[in-house]
Chain A
């Protein structure tokens, strides 16, 4: 941004002099390229740069390598300007026809190296074929979510002989035949993602393993593979990363009987494999002592993981979310690993103070610890953690309800390197928060549903944590404008803030927050005091705003929508249910060129005709949630038309509910659910 303003000043200077004597013409292209190399943080800077002069415009066009276009219809013009693009990300173009793809192929040709089509629909194998014919240097292609793609498309990918990275998650119609074509024709394949390709079986995966010997990363999550293809995969000489999430065909027998292999494997993800147990885990670890990352989340609902583990392993990170982990298990894990850096025990039943103490006493280098919902741990655990793990960077203790204020004070005192802290739904109070303000490197602080905290603690955070980027105050009802303004003043790097159901928040907070120029996500659901005035201030000054939730802010009306339409050119997602917005406001929103996801339920002033008109011109819309009562009033022709543009309709039938529950009642209810 600084660069931008400086440039603009110079433009003004330039306007007064002769254009031929422009100082910018002196700069050689190499120097301009170097400048451009440094301008990567904010996309708007490059825009300003290109507006300096004709030569700058041309240089910027030549310099640019990656592009994320918003509108496919503008692609011919954009690509004729940027004709040396090598990375094209089309995720924001939901409607992309085969014709568009063949146009891209002929415009970019051999310069294209990578293309991402994962957010697009309505293209078919013919589009991919045209890419294969003309972009013969293509190394990476992402056709994930192409649920209509067939084996023909896979065969077309197979024709790209230089392709190294192929992602085709959720291509449900692709079968072994298509995978076979890729396997045979792409010997350079290094990465393949087949997540959720339910048509692919052992045959296809085994063929991949036989033919693509350079494969480094393979993702076969949520496929129908069984133990039959495992021996082939195990023989891959360079495989470093294997992801088998949710493969129900993989069981203990498959893994235990596997004799050799996986020699180069470093990361293994077996989360949600319901049919494996402790036996598999020990056999995997004993066969691959060099394994660094292991994910066993949600693996065994009944069996106790890790107990009886022995050996010496080089594991850096292990994720055991949702497993039953006993104290013995944690002990054997502590004894058999050399140095753990990352440990996830989120929602693990059976984690006790003793288990945590054993782990942290042995592994003092622990960087990340996730103990979400380990409801039995107390201040003793925190004392152990804080006394041994001085280098802890990330700590999550959401819903650890037995930890008291004393424990939080220890965190503040002993963990100066802490950057991420999640204390949602705990007994945190102002005293603890004041102590936490000693962690001056905090970038993310989540203190939602802490009913005891007030402005007093938050002011301390605002004063001493200048790097804070993310703040979550969801339902922390003690917070008012005073605390938020202190945050806005002290944490100018703030990008994400959630103040939903903090009912005391008013326009004043938003006016202060508008100073945080990097703000991109704002959630103020249920803050009924906020009006269009406050939100307009945000719209006018936070030009990076991309995600907004203003549900049940009844005071917000069309005026705010008009200011969004005017200023918020980066707005991607909005929820404006229950706002006092009419047809005018909705039409204004429809003119925002990149607004893609909209939820509009129970808008007081929106008519069916207004909605229809807005839908008709809303070219960027990808997903819209509407109340089902509108459905009969919208012409099916119109719905078809909008859908063919790549938009998805979701018709909800939620009852109209104005009354907000008080946060105390809400918290009590959520705890009651847990007790049951």
Chain B
């Protein structure tokens, strides 16, 4: 694995070994569901029989199935050689055979990968050291089948992993003949904003990852123990534990680009889901900008929404971060219309109200309660001297405030209080506490 060969591999960008680009920890249920829809010819019981726990019987049956499949393909190839030698080649027959071969190859590889995937986590170390790298396997099959895929986007003609997977995808669809390529207007959300700078077509390199790779929780794996990491830096830190040779500054440093190598072309990513606007086969293809975009896009658009909000129990998300964002405001900012519809955003509510006749924005009901309490507090704060206010209120039929007492006061009352309060030894306003009930009951008529 020299550096150059590695750089030709598209995923992951800084991979240590091609065999690690294959993810052994992919999500089985999702994988199954995808396969069921995309390649219906695959015997479904084959995948259904897979259990979450590794089962040696299942592995054995899978391997024997694969063996059978390879034998079938050998027969087909032999047939093809014979017809070629006979010189009376029927072109249509030949094409049909090629197609059959390609589909078979594809399904075989997929099954091989999934079988290995169920097996690998259990005995990772021994397997990794003993197994042949899968891309090599893939390329050998590809050369044997002598059916090179069209490389429209790829300037590098060398058969690489990405090329290979693309070929599978196409052929699967063609042979299945059941899935139509259509404009799937998939809602992109944040992804749209992320590749706002529209590069002219052809000025960038388009890479397409397989869905297993996209869904892999880890992209960097330890060559010694097989442990996976999300970041290369974390892997490098991990490697220190495997011996002193990994502790040198050179080993710990970020792998620098070779000074002599050509400038790396701008990379854009394609979604592996055929028919998606983000797939490079789409006529209005919009590439994804980063690996993170690819991951989030694929999960949001083409995967099951497995994270459910625990608060509202209705909203579902396929990206954990989306769920967390939702949970921050779930149940709080409820904008309510009089028709009962709720909105998460105020402008949405106003758009709704503007559209329909007679719908009004509804006010949150707790506001009313708060206001009432406030007013009661205010009324009580009048002070000790005004406790007889309630009495007065009843007399007036409840319409007017107890303050009438004071408003209609005149000079005689004042004189009385002047006498008591002008005494400098006393607290000037003692009367307000002691005398004011009397004060208030005075006849206001004078």
Q: For the complex, is A203 an interface residue (Cβ under 8 Å from B)?
A: yes
Q: For the complex, is A253 an interface residue (Cβ under 8 Å from B)?
A: no
Question: Contact at B359–A124, with CB atoms within 8 Å?
Answer: no
Question: Contact at A644–B403, with CB atoms within 8 Å?
Answer: yes
Given contacts A124-B375, A635-B429, contact A180 B350 (CB under 8 A): yes
Question: Contact at B401–A95, with CB atoms within 8 Å?
Answer: yes
Question: Contact at B406–A619, with CB atoms within 8 Å?
Answer: yes
The segment from A149-157, A320-328, A514-522 found at the interface with B is A149-157
Q: How far is the CA of A427 from the CA of B381 in the complex (A)?
A: 59
Q: For the complex, is B400 an interface residue (Cβ under 8 Å from A)?
A: yes
Q: For the complex, is A181 an interface residue (Cβ under 8 Å from B)?
A: yes
Q: Scan B410-446; emit 1 where CB is below 8 A from any A CB, else 0.
A: 1101100110011000001100110000000000000
The segment from A2-10, A335-343, A551-559, A609-617 found at the interface with B is A609-617
Given contacts A97-B401, A99-B399, A640-B381, contact A176 B346 (CB under 8 A): yes
Question: Contact at A637–B347, with CB atoms within 8 Å?
Answer: no
Q: Scan A382-396; emit 1 where CB is below 8 A from any B CB, else 0.
A: 000000000000000
Question: Contact at A152–B367, with CB atoms within 8 Å?
Answer: yes
Q: For the complex, is A103 an interface residue (Cβ under 8 Å from B)?
A: yes
Contacts of B398 in A (CB 8 A): 99
Q: How far is the CA of A613 from the CA of B428 in the complex (A)?
A: 11
Question: Contact at B404–A73, with CB atoms within 8 Å?
Answer: yes
Contacts of A633 in B (CB 8 A): 428
The minimal Cβ–Cβ distance linking B235 to chain A, given in whole angstroms, is 49
Contacts of A613 in B (CB 8 A): 414, 417-418, 421
- Of A176, A185, A644, the contact of B350 (CB 8 Å cutoff): A176
Given contacts A100-B399, A635-B429, A645-B403, contact A158 B414 (CB under 8 A): no
Contacts of B410 in A (CB 8 A): 591, 617
Q: For the complex, is B353 an interface residue (Cβ under 8 Å from A)?
A: yes
Q: Which residue of B lies closest to A73 (CB)?
A: B404
Q: How far is the CA of A17 from the CA of B383 in the complex (A)?
A: 57
Contacts of B60 in A (CB 8 A): none
Contacts of A151 in B (CB 8 A): 363, 367
Q: Which of A52-83 contact B (CB under 8 A)?
A: 71-73, 75-76
Q: How far is the CA of A71 from the CA of B368 in the complex (A)?
A: 29
Q: How far is the CA of A633 from the CA of B398 in the complex (A)?
A: 35
Contacts of B432 in A (CB 8 A): 635, 637-638
Question: Contact at B360–A609, with CB atoms within 8 Å?
Answer: no
Q: Which residue of A lies closest to B393 (CB)?
A: A99
Contacts of B414 in A (CB 8 A): 587, 613-614, 616-617
The minimal Cβ–Cβ distance linking B396 to chain A, given in whole angstroms, is 8
Q: Scan A75-106; emit 1 where CB is below 8 A from any B CB, else 0.
A: 11000000000000000000101111011000
Residue of B350, B384, B393 most packed against chain A (CB within 10 A): B350
Q: State the interface size on chain B (CB cutoff 8 A).
A: 45
Question: Contact at B399–A152, with CB atoms within 8 Å?
Answer: no
**SS class of chain B's interface: helix, strand, loop or mixed?**
helix
Contacts of A612 in B (CB 8 A): 421, 428-429
Q: For the complex, is B408 an interface residue (Cβ under 8 Å from A)?
A: yes
- Of A99, A102, A608, the contact of B428 (CB 8 Å cutoff): A608
Contacts of B360 in A (CB 8 A): 155, 158, 180-181, 184-185
Q: For the complex, is A211 an interface residue (Cβ under 8 Å from B)?
A: yes
Q: How far is the CA of A634 from the CA of B371 in the complex (A)?
A: 30
Q: For the complex, is A597 an interface residue (Cβ under 8 Å from B)?
A: no
Contacts of A617 in B (CB 8 A): 406, 409-410, 413-414
Q: How far is the CA of A176 from the CA of B400 in the complex (A)?
A: 33
Q: How far is the CA of A614 from the CA of B417 in the complex (A)?
A: 11
Q: Which of B260-296 contact A (CB under 8 A)?
A: none
Q: Which of B233-255 contact A (CB under 8 A)?
A: none
Contacts of A211 in B (CB 8 A): 354
Q: Scan A13-24; emit 1 where CB is below 8 A from any B CB, else 0.
A: 000000000000
Q: Which residue of A lies closest to B427 (CB)?
A: A635
Contacts of A150 in B (CB 8 A): 367, 371
Q: Scan B314-355; emit 1 where CB is below 8 A from any A CB, else 0.
A: 000000000000000000000000000000001100100110
Contacts of A152 in B (CB 8 A): 363, 367-368, 371
Question: Contact at B400–A76, with CB atoms within 8 Å?
Answer: yes
Q: Which of A594-643 contact B (CB under 8 A)?
A: 607-610, 612-614, 616-617, 619, 633-635, 637-638, 640-641
Q: How far is the CA of A150 from the CA of B364 in the complex (A)?
A: 12
Q: For the complex, is A487 an interface residue (Cβ under 8 Å from B)?
A: no
Q: For the complex, is B385 an interface residue (Cβ under 8 Å from A)?
A: yes
Given contacts A637-B385, A637-B432, contact A610 B418 (CB under 8 A): yes
Q: How far is the CA of A193 from the CA of B181 in the complex (A)?
A: 57
- Of A102, A204, A587, A638, the contact of B411 (CB 8 Å cutoff): A587
Q: For the complex, is A210 an interface residue (Cβ under 8 Å from B)?
A: yes
Question: Contact at A180–B428, with CB atoms within 8 Å?
Answer: no
Q: Scan B115-134; emit 1 where CB is below 8 A from any A CB, else 0.
A: 00000000000000000000
Q: For the complex, is B407 an interface residue (Cβ under 8 Å from A)?
A: yes
Q: For the complex, is A206 an interface residue (Cβ under 8 Å from B)?
A: yes
Q: How far is the CA of A591 from the CA of B415 in the complex (A)?
A: 13
Q: Which residue of A lies closest to B421 (CB)?
A: A609
Q: Which residue of A lies closest to B409 (CB)?
A: A617
Q: For the complex, is A32 an interface residue (Cβ under 8 Å from B)?
A: no
Q: For the complex, is B47 an interface residue (Cβ under 8 Å from A)?
A: no
Question: Contact at B429–A637, with CB atoms within 8 Å?
Answer: yes
Q: Which residue of B lies closest to A97 (CB)?
A: B401
Q: For the complex, is B382 an interface residue (Cβ under 8 Å from A)?
A: yes
The minimal Cβ–Cβ distance linking B35 to chain A, given in whole angstroms, is 48
- Of A73, A75, A644, the contact of B408 (CB 8 Å cutoff): A73
Q: For the complex, is A177 an interface residue (Cβ under 8 Å from B)?
A: yes
Q: For the complex, is B26 an interface residue (Cβ under 8 Å from A)?
A: no
Q: For the complex, is B202 an interface residue (Cβ under 8 Å from A)?
A: no
Q: How far is the CA of A638 from the CA of B383 in the complex (A)?
A: 9
Q: For the complex, is A125 an interface residue (Cβ under 8 Å from B)?
A: yes
Q: How far is the CA of A591 from the CA of B446 in the complex (A)?
A: 13
- Of A72, A124, A616, A635, the contact of B400 (CB 8 Å cutoff): A72
Q: How far is the CA of A591 from the CA of B393 in the complex (A)?
A: 25
Given contacts A591-B411, A633-B428, contact A124 B371 (CB under 8 A): yes
Contacts of B367 in A (CB 8 A): 150-152
Q: Which residue of B lies closest to A644 (CB)?
A: B382
Residue of A97, A640, A645 most packed against chain B (CB within 10 A): A97
Q: For the complex, is B386 an interface residue (Cβ under 8 Å from A)?
A: yes
Q: How far is the CA of A151 from the CA of B414 in the complex (A)?
A: 43
Q: Scan B352-391; emit 1 where CB is below 8 A from any A CB, else 0.
A: 0110001111010001100100010010011111100000
- Of A73, A125, A176, A185, the contact of B371 (CB 8 Å cutoff): A125
The minimal Cβ–Cβ distance linking A340 to chain B, given in whole angstroms, is 40
Question: Contact at B421–A155, with CB atoms within 8 Å?
Answer: no
The minimal Cβ–Cβ distance linking A80 to chain B, given in whole angstroms, is 12
Contacts of A587 in B (CB 8 A): 411, 414
Q: Which residue of A lies closest to B444 (CB)?
A: A73
Q: How far is the CA of A482 from the CA of B386 in the complex (A)?
A: 56
Residue of A158, A203, A640 most packed against chain B (CB within 10 A): A203
Q: For the complex, is A207 an interface residue (Cβ under 8 Å from B)?
A: yes
Q: How far is the CA of A587 from the CA of B367 in the complex (A)?
A: 43
Q: How far is the CA of A530 from the CA of B381 in the complex (A)?
A: 45
Q: How far is the CA of A99 from the CA of B409 in the complex (A)?
A: 22
Q: Scan A567-598; emit 1 where CB is below 8 A from any B CB, else 0.
A: 00000000000000001000100010000000
Q: How far is the CA of A95 from the CA of B403 in the complex (A)?
A: 10
The minimal Cβ–Cβ distance linking B321 to chain A, given in whole angstroms, is 29
Question: Contact at B361–A180, with CB atoms within 8 Å?
Answer: yes
Residue of A124, A155, A184 most packed against chain B (CB within 10 A): A184
Q: How far is the CA of A203 from the CA of B414 in the complex (A)?
A: 55
Given contacts A95-B401, A609-B418, 4 further A-B contacts (CB under 8 A): A76-B400, A178-B363, A203-B350, A609-B422
18 intermolecular pairs with C-beta atoms under 8 Å apart: A95-B403, A100-B399, A103-B399, A124-B375, A150-B367, A152-B371, A180-B350, A184-B359, A185-B360, A203-B347, A607-B422, A609-B418, A609-B422, A633-B428, A635-B428, A635-B432, A640-B383, A644-B381
10 closest A-B pairs by beta carbon, nearest first, are A619-B407, A635-B429, A103-B399, A180-B361, A617-B409, A184-B360, A203-B350, A73-B404, A637-B383, A177-B361
